[in-house]
Amino acid sequence: MEAKHKRLTSKAGLTIPKDVRMAAGFTGGMAVDIEETADGILIRKHRPTCCYCGAVEDVKSIKGRDTCRRCAEEIFKEVKTVYEFI
């Protein structure tokens, strides 16, 4: 793919050219992850990550928070223990 040249807007925004978005499979409204690298900035499709342990396997959104199965099971056990005595 040929390198593209774009200017940042006055508020430091950036529009990704349509052909680049299409080739990457990006669509409007899609979540992306933005990461600083030694060479610049990496933008990729969002990869759900557990907000508790950082795992990326078996992650689901629970009450708006990305949570892996292991952490969800630990939370369930803790909540069950707390509310057993009430």
H helices present in the chain, as ranges: 18-24, 69-84
CATH of domain 1-47: 2.10.260.10
List phi, psi (to 5°) of 38.
Answer: -65, -30
pTM of the model: 0.58
Number of H helices, E strands in the chain: 2, 4
CA 48 to CA 67: how far, in whole Å?
9
| pLDDT tens readout for residues 42-67 | 999 988 999 999 999 999 999 989 99
CA 39 to CA 35: how far, in whole Å?
11
CA 11 to CA 23: how far, in whole Å?
26
If you average pLDDT over every residue of the chain, what do you get?
Answer: 91
| pLDDT tens readout for residues 9-23 | 999 999 999 999 999
Whether residue 1 is predicted with pLDDT greater than 90 in this model: the reply is no
Share of the chain above pLDDT 70, in %: 97
**Domain boundaries, given as residue ranges, for the chain:** 1-47, 48-86
